[in-house]
Amino acid sequence: MELDPKTDLSFTRTLEAPRDLIWECWTSEEHIPHWFIPRPHRIAAVEIDLRVGGAFNTTMEVEGKLMENRGVWLEVEPLRRLVFTDGYETGWKPAPDPFMTAIVEMEDAGEGRTLYTATARHRSADSAKRHEEMGFYDGWGTVADQLAEYARSLAK
């Protein structure tokens, strides 16, 4: 995948947790609330229908305000790749104000570790810049750390 530096934000890091657990954390409603948003914020609700066109809906609680995010899976490659967007809702209903498409890639890095790449693709340079200014790297980086920590707790 070729990134467009004007519209795409991305990072790669090695997570100290096995790929099968990282995958399970991404694809299970019971696990998402434990890592998906930087603490102390929380996930109030989640709905996952893990298939192309299926729902990936989350409701975040940030400083007492509920923020609903509705989307669909565009690609599901078990243990390797997840692509989802808020550009559509289930039933391929176009969203009124889409923000991004996210691509999460996982590779076995050996020794129980996962090479993890998270990419947010935006419709315009302005929306990518806005997302970066909102704290994409710090926020998504914190979430990646929380994901690895939580996945490790499942291995015990």
pLDDT of res. 154: 95
Q: Alpha helices of the chain — where are they, by DSSP H?
A: 19-27, 125-134, 136-155
Average pLDDT across each block of 10 residues of the chain; the chain has 156 residues. List them in order. Answer: 94 97 98 97 98 97 95 98 96 94 98 98 96 95 97 90
Query: Are 10 and 117 contacting, i.e. CB atoms less than 8 angstroms apart?
Result: yes
Decide: helix, strand or coil at residue 130: helix
Query: Are 60 and 37 contacting, i.e. CB atoms less than 8 angstroms apart?
Result: yes
pLDDT of res. 84: 98
Give the residue carrying structure tokens 């109030």: 44
Cα-Cα-Cα-Cα torsion 102, 70, 32, 133, nearest 10 degrees, comes to: 50
Residues 6+ apart with CB under 8 A from 126: none
Domains in the chain (CATH in brackets) are 9-155 (3.30.530.20)
pLDDT of res. 140: 96
Q: What is the pTM of this model?
A: 0.94
